[in-house]
Amino acid sequence: MPTKYDHFTTMKFSIENRVITAKLNRPHKLNVFTEQMEYELSQFLVDGAFDDDFDFAVLTGEGRAFSAGGDIEEWMIPNVKDPGSVNPDLSKRLIFALLDFPKPLIAKVNGHAMGLGATTALYCDVIFAAEHAKIADPHVKVGLSAGDGGAIIWPQLIGYVRARELLMTGEYIDAKRAVELGLINYALPAEELDAAVDAFVAKLQKGAYRAICATKKTVNLGLKQLASAVMDASIAYEHLTLASRDHAEGVYAFLEKREPKFTGK
C-alpha cells in the first residue's frame, strides 16, 4: 500500500499487515548516509510516531549493506574543504528520534553496518543481523571522535571496557561476535534473516500492544537521560576533530586506498 513517505528520495517503504518496512535506499553506495538520508530517517521516525497505518517498524538496507556509515565524498570532503559545513544538529535529532519513537522498531541488518549505520541499528529495540555482516564504529580510522551517538550506546550494550577498545580502534566485528558481546540479539544465515524477523514481529503482534510500547518507553528513559547529558559534548568533540589535520589525512587516505599517516594534529 502507498505510504506517507513515498516522496522520500533516499529511503523506500512498504506496509503489510500493519508492519512498515523502511529501507535505506542508496544501494549503489552501500547506503552511506548523506545529510538528506539522515534528515529523511529522522523525519520518518517523527512522523511515523503518529501514523495510524502501522504498529511495528522494521529498518533495513537495500542491496548488500545496511549502511556503510557516512558518505566520504558528499559529506566529509566538503567539510575538510570548509570546516563547519556539516550540520551537527542532524545527528542529535536522529538519536532522539530513535529514542522517542514509540512503536517497536526492529533492525534487520542485512549487511555491513558501520559508523552512523551501526549507531542507527544499535538504537533499535531488537537487532537481527546476517552472519556475514560486520559491525563497527570506525570514526577514529578517519581521524574523528565517535560523536554521532555511538559513544553513548556501545558502553550501555557491552560495557565500558569492551566499548572503549572497539571505539578507540575502530575494529570490525562479525555478527556472531556481536551476539557474544551482547551488542545485538541474533546472527543468522542471510537466507533465514527475513523469516526470523517476520516471526519475531508476529510474536509481538500476539502480545498486549500498549503494554509492549509502554515497556519500550520505560526502558528508553534511562538512555534518553544519558543522551541528554552527553550528546552535546559528544558532537562538540567530533567537531573539534573534524577540523583536525588527522581527519583530512584519514579522508584522503581512504579515497586513495592507502594507510593514513596520522600525526596527532
Q: What is the pLDDT of residues 155-211, one digit of tens each?
A: 999 999 999 999 999 999 999 999 999 999 999 999 999 999 999 999 999 999 999
What's the Cα-to-Cα distance from 159 to each of 85, 156, 196, 234, 261, rounded to whole Å? 34, 6, 27, 18, 30
The C-alpha cell 599517516 sits at: 261
Which letter does DSSP use for residue 29 in this model?
G
Maximal C-alpha separation, the chain: 56
Domain boundaries, the chain: 11-205
Closest CA to 235 of 126, 64, 119: 119
Which burial class, exposed, middle or buried, applies to 95 when counting CB atoms under 10 A from its CB (0-12, 13-18, 19+)? buried
88 pLDDT band (50/70/90 cuts)?
low
d(CA 246, CA 48): 39
Phi, psi of 191, rounded to the nearest 5 degrees = -75, -10
Which of the four CATH numbers 3.60.21.10, 3.20.20.60, 3.40.50.300, 3.90.226.10 does domain 11-205 have? 3.90.226.10
79 pLDDT band (50/70/90 cuts)?
confident
Q: Cell digits for 39?
A: 534528515
Sign of the alpha-carbon torsion through 150, 119, 181, 127: positive
Q: What is the pLDDT of residue 75?
A: 80
Which residues neighbour 149 within 8 Å (Cβ) at sequence distance 6 or greater? 91, 94, 95, 119, 123, 227, 231, 234
Query: Mean pLDDT for the chain?
Result: 95
pTM over 0.85: yes
Which residues neighbour 21 within 8 Å (Cβ) at sequence distance 6 or greater? 13, 14, 15, 57, 58, 60
Q: What is the mean pLDDT of residues 115-128?
A: 98
d(CA 81, CA 134): 30
Query: Residues 141, 193, 178, CA angle at the centre, nearest 5°?
Result: 40
pLDDT beyond 80 at 86: no
Q: What is the pLDDT of residue 2?
A: 86
User: Residue 137 corresponds to which amino acid?
Assistant: D
pLDDT beyond 90 at 68: yes
Q: What is the pLDDT of residue 157?
A: 98
What's the Cα-to-Cα distance from 38 to each of 15, 31, 221, 240, 245, rounded to whole Å? 21, 11, 23, 21, 26
81 pLDDT band (50/70/90 cuts)?
confident
**pLDDT above 70: percentage of residues in the chain:** 98
Q: Which residues pair with 187 in a beta bridge?
A: 129
The C-alpha cell 545485538 sits at: 184
Q: Is 19 helix (H, G, I), strand (E, B) or coil?
A: strand
Tens digit of each residue's pLDDT (9 = 90 or more) over 213-262: 999 999 999 999 999 999 999 999 998 898 899 999 999 998 899 999 99
Tens digit of each residue's pLDDT (9 = 90 or more) over 90-99: 889 999 999 9
